[in-house]
Chain A
Amino acid sequence: NAGVTQTPKFQVLKTGQSMTLQCAQDMNHNSMYWYRQDPGMGLRLIYYSASEGTTDKGEVPNGYNVSRLNKREFSLRLESAAPSQTSVYFCASSERGHVGYTFGSGTRLTVV
């Protein structure tokens, strides 16, 4: 009963480096989401995948790319990290629609 698993939990990058945040869910959910959370800014949607094979931009997609690898996995890639991307990143999943998201435990990313 793992739910949503995110890796890594912590990461420090240098400006310009690239990395991929991994997310996997074992609840057979159709929809998956990537959010970032900054102090005082709440949760902002980066990208989402309504179903396997589709991805769409959210509120703050610039500087990120995503891949819905299969129904279970949804990854977030930073091609050239910038200090402004220092944040906590959460992956979430839900049944088709928008009820009752299940969140992963988050990735705390620092870009120096």
Chain B
Amino acid sequence: GQQVMQIPQYQHVQEGEDFTTYCNSSTTLSNIQWYKQRPGGHPVFLIQLVKSGEVKKQKRLTFQFGEAKKNSSLHITATQTTDVGTYFCAGPGSSASKIIFGSGTRLSIRP
């Protein structure tokens, strides 16, 4: 079935350093979504990318969708303690009514 693979599983950075997580699919994706889950919290929708090569920014967060629409990345510039959490990508499942989540990248930060 449809799968999205996400790397790395964990990332521990010094506050102020940059952070990147990658999402890869073996098949072309019609779109990809990103979610953030704070420790002890629930996933919160961040953004959706639809177009080949699309780049979107939300303050210090930059989201990219690959030209072949098989991969995506989330880059955080100058991390802050508020960025701590797990970041998930999600792609369409086998039906139009569901999405499949990647395994997530857990970001922790040394103050």
Contacts and interface: CB of A to CB of B under 8 A. Distances in A.
A64 B31 CA distance: 30
Interface string A92-112: 100011111111111000000
Contacts, number: 58
Interface stretch (A17-25, A40-48, A66-74, A78-86): A40-48
Interface in B36-59: 41-45, 48
Nearest to A96: B97
B43 A50 contact: no
Interface stretch (B13-21, B60-68, B69-77, B100-108): B100-108
Q: Chain B interface secondary structure, helix, strand, loop or mixed?
A: loop
A58 interface: yes
A27 B88 CA distance: 23
Given A100-B48, A101-B43, A48 B100 contact: no
A42 B103 contact: yes
Nearest to B45: A100
B9 interface: yes
Contacts of A31: 97
A93 to B, nearest CB: 11
B42 A103 contact: yes
Interface of B: 1, 9, 31, 33, 35, 41-45, 48, 88, 92-93, 95-104
5 contacts: A33-B98, A40-B9, A43-B101, A59-B100, A100-B45
